[in-house]
Structure 1
Amino acid sequence: MNENIIKFISQQTCATVSCVDATNKPYSFSCFYAFNEKEGLLYYKSSLETKHSQIILEHPFVAGTILPDKLNKIRIRGLQFEGEVLPVTHPDAKNAADIYYHTHPLAMAIGGEVWTIKVNSIKYTDSSLGFGKKVGWRREVKELV
């Protein structure tokens, strides 16, 4: 993953995530996240009873955005991502709670589950790299032999 993308995601705290229900109606929610740069994973916390959690349990593919915590109208930065929310039993979700609570320790006092988004692609925009400059990243797909 590009170092500019890693730095940007690591410096922010909140994402907007969108999912689509069985009737193709979109639904979005905002969440605090933690980032596992080595594995390209985002972690967030939410209750199983929320509308978005119920949708994601049935349709785990999501898309989202991360904007700077402090917006600057002169320096345009932000990213769009696509990914899949992993089941809690997935090996990549094993350390989700530890990593999330390390970043957000006060969240331990709030009910809910820590969820894992396996990010599959990113488009990052940063005008400080050049007007309209975009940097992309796509997860490598390993072929089964």
Structure 2
Amino acid sequence: MKSDLEKIVNFIKQHHVMSLATSAELELSVCNLFYAFDEKEVSFVVASSDETTHIQNIIKNPNVAGSVVLETKTVGKIQGLQFRGTFSILEDEALKKLYFKTFPYALAMMPKLWKIKINYFKMTDNNLGFGKKIILQEPFL
């Protein structure tokens, strides 16, 4: 039987776009980002420019929240993941390689890469029963 973390990681790896919410003082922002995910670090890797509103918010407040969802109209198939974490500049070379392996065309643009270290997951998975929730907080193991 899969652990709850394995179920969440499997869901994350089936997708590649997240919605990310940021805030700083009274400024709010939400954006969509392509991501790669590293299960050992329990971290997302994303690319974004310093000029964006969400990065300007993150410079002031690195705490973020986001979601990854399966878009479906079938109630029994609804799946979605909410997360919270800390956003920082990516310095890990292995995680940089993971991002460019996932999105090789991004190499042409050489974007600035960032890491979202996850500290909370909440997954809704109607495949496990209507409204079934899996909630995990750091430490995950």
What's the TM-score, normalizing by structure 2? Answer: 0.88
Q: Structure 2 regions of 5+ residues with no counterpart? A: none
4+ runs deviating over 3 angstroms:
none
| Equivalent-residue separation in structure 1 for 2:57 and 2:31 (angstroms) | 12
Per-residue CA deviation, residues 29-69 of structure 1 (Å, 9 max, x unaligned), is 1000000011100000011121211111121100000012x
How far did 1:127 drift?
0.3
Q: 1:33 aligns with which of 28, 32, 35?
A: 35
Q: How many aligned residue pairs are there? A: 135
| Equivalent-residue separation in structure 2 for 1:114 and 1:98 (angstroms) | 11
Amino acid at match of 2:61: H
* 1:10 corresponding residue in structure 2: 13
| Equivalent-residue separation in structure 2 for 1:95 and 1:48 (angstroms) | 22
Secondary structure of the residue aligned to 1:95 is helix
Amino acid at match of 1:2: L
* 2:134 corresponding residue in structure 1: 135
Secondary structure of the residue aligned to 2:105 is helix
Q: Does 1:72 align with 2:72?
A: yes
How far did 1:17 drift?
0.5
Amino acid at match of 1:19: T
| Equivalent-residue separation in structure 1 for 2:52 and 2:111 (angstroms) | 10
* 2:101 corresponding residue in structure 1: 102
* 1:118 corresponding residue in structure 2: 117
| Equivalent-residue separation in structure 1 for 2:115 and 2:94 (angstroms) | 10
| Equivalent-residue separation in structure 2 for 1:111 and 1:105 (angstroms) | 10
Amino acid at match of 2:139: E
| Equivalent-residue separation in structure 2 for 1:128 and 1:11 (angstroms) | 15
**Structure 1 stretch 34-43 or stretch 23-32: which is displaced more?**
23-32
Q: Structure 1 regions of 5+ residues with no counterpart? A: none
The alignment-based identity, stated in percent, is 36
Pairwise CA RMSD of aligned residues? 1.6
| Equivalent-residue separation in structure 1 for 2:26 and 2:84 (angstroms) | 17
Amino acid at match of 1:8: F
How far did 1:94 drift?
4.3
What's the TM-score, normalizing by structure 1? Answer: 0.86
Secondary structure of the residue aligned to 1:35 is strand
Q: 1:53 aligns with which of 52, 55, 78?
A: 55
